[in-house]
A = this chain, B = another copy of it.
């Protein structure tokens, strides 16, 4: 059983470690490799066998976050129905990834370098397309650019994840708070 070392056990373990790390770093972004290992129930040595270093771990978490967002997009079917409902579905599906997203949002390591994951651009495109469709269909206002709306979606998601962890917002209200603010803003609608 030598040549299959990475195929069965390691793959499962790796995913488990990755999710433990995500859960921990979401709460304490400065956690040390030792703490990450303990949180996953493995030793630092084994953690190193999975991820060459902290850098690699963060990169893997970045890939995980992107994958989860893309999965959320797949589940949300943003191209179906009204753009408004598409945004609501998207926010709902993104909630499980919100904490991880908030962590990645604050990892300067990912944004300062020249090289950055193409996944973000793919995500931006897909989300931006949703907002653009809403504008073309006359649902969304056109004085806020799709790029900014996309950025705002990330920002509100991260903010609400933070507020949820601090207890300032109830977790069950997350989809409403983010989607309703993003879509309708603070102003009351005129009774028509």
Could you list which residues of chain A lie within 8 angstroms of chain B, going by C-beta atoms? 28-30, 84, 87, 106, 108, 112, 131, 134, 138-141, 143-145, 147-149, 151-152, 154-156, 158-160, 162-163, 168-169, 176-177, 180-190, 192
Contacts of A141 in B (CB 8 A): 184, 186-189
**Interface SS of chain A: helix, strand, loop or mixed?**
helix
CB-CB under 8 A from A144, the residues of chain B are: 177, 180-181, 186
Residues of B within 8 Å of A140, CB to CB, are: 186-188
In the complex the two chains form, is A177's CB within 8 Å of B163's CB? no
The reply to whether B28 and A112 form a contact with Cβ atoms under 8 Å apart is yes
In the complex, which residues of chain B have a beta carbon less than 8 angstroms from the beta carbon of A188? 138-141
Task: Compute how far the CA of A186 lies from the CA of B139 in the bound complex, rounded to whole angstroms.
Answer: 8
- Give the residues in chain B near A139, CB-CB below 8 Å: 187-188
Partner of A108, one of B30, B112, B180, B192: B30
Give the Cβ gap from A82 to chain B, nearest Cβ, in Å: 10
**Interface-central residue, A143, A152, A158, by most chain B CB under 10 Å:** A152
